[in-house]
Chain A
Amino acid sequence: MPIRKLDELIEVVKSQGKKKRLIAAWANDSHTIGAIYNAMDNNLVDAVLVGDEGAIRKTCEENGFDVSRVTIVTAPSDVKAAEKAVAMINAGEGEILMKGLVSTDKYMRAILDKEKGLMPSPNAVLSHVTVIETPRYPKLIVCGDVAVIPLPDLKQKTAILNYLVATAKALGIDRPKVAVLAASEQVLPKMEACVDAAILSKMGERGQIKGGAIIDGPLALDVAIDKESVEIKGITGEVAGDADCILFPNIESGNVFYKTNTKLAGAELGALVFGAKVPCILSSRGDSTKTKLYSIALGALMAK
């Protein structure tokens, strides 16, 4: 049975057996440590906190966290902490990476470092996948890229598509339905989003995208997720009105989509960065407690 709610995701990860180890980079602050303790309370992961040991102990003490439940690894600075966390992942000491109080660009730089980073190959594409639970849609929406790649080209879109499909499959959807989004469902050669969507959907038809997904595009958002619009517009195909995954043509559309859902429609989400050797969590302080928990759960689900 596919997972249809993010709380179900927590239950599935709990029942997975051996817990995955999460390594958090520069995890000195209460936001990061709080999220990790919440995840540990839910039996999702074991954790290593890389950072300033004094600060970590102080934060735990102030918040009433039992410091013996985590492993602390000392690092003198945010950059060093990110490097150390990445090195530990490379040494097989953890299966999930998480960002602490280090800035996103320093965190990403440690992941992307050609020699000591986490990229499996020089051509690998690092991209962000978001899983959204929104009240008026009957299932989860797996979408990207809302945060990392500004304007993906065809090759990057193919990589994003693969990550979306892999995530949807891990959520129990055997043949994920992927909508490649554009402003219209017609192929308008002047709009690159339409052109790439047509190309990707044909690649899907030809079996060039692995994972057995059903890919259709271009589809506008209404015909991707709303059956009534599909009927009115007379769109055919298995994806229209019933998408599991949405591939956005650019970061602006993706970003507006997820923020509209969370800020105006009461949606919840979990998110991960894909393309590195392990799932990487890119939570920000602005994320809700639930989002952080769901992101860690998603990381535990996707970790090998």
Chain B
Amino acid sequence: MMKWLEERYDLSDLKEFAKKKHVPAHKHELWYYTGGVALFLIAFQFVTGMILALYYVPYFEQAHKSIIEIVTKLNMGWFFRSVHHWGAQLAIGFLFAHLFATLLLKAYRKPRELLWFSGFILMGISIFFGLSGYFLLWDERAFAAVRVATGGLSAIPLIGDTIKAFLRGGIDVTGETLVRFYAFHVCVLPMATLLLLVIHLALVQHHGMSVPISQQGKESRPTPFFPNALYKDAIIWLIVLGIVVTLATLLPPEIGIKADPLAPPPENVKPEWYFLFLFQTLKLFPGDILGLNGEVIAVMLVVLAMGFCFLIPFFDRKSHAGQRSSVFTLIGTLYLAYFIVMTIVGYFS
């Protein structure tokens, strides 16, 4: 087989590349596996999603029923729905770990700003993946969540209403919104993910792994990528796969009562865990702050905080110059602490 290829293509460059590729070794290197795990889980979601897409009916009258049929009648249907659900949960979890590790280890600093931007956008896409995928259930909770998420965006001045209409495909959350979210979930977002992922990975390849400022000069001998780092990756991926399958088997996700636009949302309705920090923030703000609309202030603060985080490579001048930057370690820690505390408060409220 190799011989067949080698007779037709010159593979010496590739072989040379595989031999030369090394990754830095230092005491924070474990965090660098989170990105690989996220990559693995995204691939896993692509494959399991393809199976589900063969049977799901994206029409408001049949969507809910088609999921019940996938789970009850289709061969292995319960399994694929369940692993797709848990794969998504873990993917978002590892993406957050990856993002916060990058933030705290300042891996976004020069020259890797574009890596940070592409990764940040991928994080946003993944969250939107989560929201749109979860809406496809067309149950009461999903309906309330999408009403709030799309309704909240309209609090952004000037462009809010346009975004809301674009996402909803109308003035209300209706069956048309379901078709739209289906199209986002199975077509627009996967394409965007592929494109950005290729850019993200090409950039990783181009720059090599970042070494945290604190570890510079202290690293041990770099690890060869083939096979040492790859094997480590593979081991972790296999463990993660085991966790996904175990969770999927022991804790299959529920599906609520079919959505009814005129019914009140269920008591103490809550979004998925990765929205809890936003949900809790919205609950925190009173309707009226010194005569101003509290909702608009809350949404604007969230947008500003996210904007600042997105542009952080430009604000952090010290790590840009290769110095330790304790102010931004503090800022990063604050972001992480806010996320964790609000998620926990939201979960138990």
A binds B: no
Q: Which residues of B contact A (CB under 8 A)?
A: none
